[in-house]
Structure 1
Amino acid sequence: MTSVSLLGGADAAPIVLDATPARVPTTRRYLMCEPRHFTVEYAINPWMDPTRPTDTSLAVAQWTALKETYERLGHQVEVIEPAPGLPDMVFSANSGTVIDGRVLGAKFRAPERAAEADHFRRWFLANGYQDVVMPEITNEAEGDFTWTGKYLLAGTGFRTDPRAHAEAQEVLGVPVISLNLVDPRYYHLDVALFVLTEDLVAYYPDAFSVGSQEVLRRLYPDAILATASDAACLGLNAVSDGRHVVLPVEATALGEQVAARGFEPVYVDISELRASGGGPKCCTMELRG
């Protein structure tokens, strides 16, 4: 941690102030889906290769370790039953955005994932959510919608239709800031940026258009900037509770930057699910309110 000394008069003892703020975790509630039917049988992003063998049992073991990590950190994890024939249903973040108890569902761009949305809609209704709106315009939920506590950062360029940003603002009643993604490897906002606290994010600049980079610089002048290698292991597909930051085990440089800002990196191995372009955040929908 960095500290600074402030000197008073000639005979005054130096006052040492810690320049790194204390990081305080808040208890979160998450919705996850076991990858019981996980495989890569189609390709809808650059990470997916149907000719590469996948290990479903390993995916389940890694997902279970992620779930247990959240529980060990004091968070509550709800689980939705996986449906046969939907191998990407494990990526629950793509199926709903929940803020203050309001739910905006998902409408997937790829037909292979379209049926996932209704499974999650039914889960919300069965679990007491009364304000559930299914979108008219394509949006892939927390894949492209990132709530900071102040703004809804909204990605577009590959999956979510830019018109969905206005729909999200109307349904959720929060200010929306549009960001354009330009690198197909980082096809969702949640593989290019994550929120550490309300006023601090980490992101990979080259994933964004020039104008969006300028927007991020203005909003977050002290942001953590990820390296190309940390972005390439989906290190930015991370989850923060305000103190603990759960991120892929390969993202060591990013973890060091996170630790230097007073957070505690918590590494998980989710390499098998990365074969489908997912990481910790993809597997984690936050239920807010």
Structure 2
Amino acid sequence: MEGVRHEDAAASFDPLRPKLMRVAYRMLGSVADAEDVVQEAFIRWMRADRGEVREPEAFLRRTVTRLCLDQLKSARRQRETYVGPWLPDPVMEEQEEEDVTLPLMLALERLSPLERAAFLLHDVFGLGFEEVAATIQRDPAACRQLAARARTHVREARPRFQVEKQRSLELAEAFFNASRSGDMKSLGAMLAADVSVHADGGGKRPAAMQPIFGFDAVMKVHENLAAQFQKNGSKLVRAGFVNGLPGFITLEADGELQTTALEIENGKVAAIYVVRNPDKLKHLH
């Protein structure tokens, strides 16, 4: 009987799992935490009186969002003790994700959990404020205010200069080739004057402890890196979109993976996001 109940719950839950993962990941910025939340939602779905649920997707989205809100409280404490810059777990996508890019996810980190939920549910996932209100247990007027405040904070993180998809991938490939071969002239031609580098090693692998800003400083870093790449190697594993930005996965000399994502404005690389923390790369193996 328990096996039949499990199969029945899975049959209605599994088609919704990808959507629920999108909500959870965008709320939390962590693939492992999102998977845990979605699995907990499935356990609650198994225990629920499913015959009484008129809209399973809405019910499960509410469950996942509320679990994420609980999770964000402890996540904030963990961020305060995180070693070096924090970046969301890299997610490799076949297609460019325009709804939530990496810079936008970083902007979401500055919001309160409720602002984050209201913004994502309404502005990204397209839910009406009545549904948002039912999900986060606030009245619709309060949800409008939460979303409006969030919108003000994240407006700057929206992509302002759309880059043609194929061109952005070509730029990422050129960046990989120039940075690994030590072709500083070609690399310099790609960088914006106010370019920055943000590297997340989480204290587990070597990485800059603070973001690096400015053309000269970033070029200096890449001159040093190029010497290491030429000596020890850095192998391209896959190119594509990393959290909505053109980038690539590489296998580094220490046998660990690394992701690089490039924010492009006016045809130039404006920011470089590198994730080296092995805990954030497990799902890519």
TM-score (structure 1 length as normaliser) = 0.26
Higher-Rg structure is: 2
TM-score, normalization: structure 2?
0.26
Q: Which has the higher strand share?
A: 1
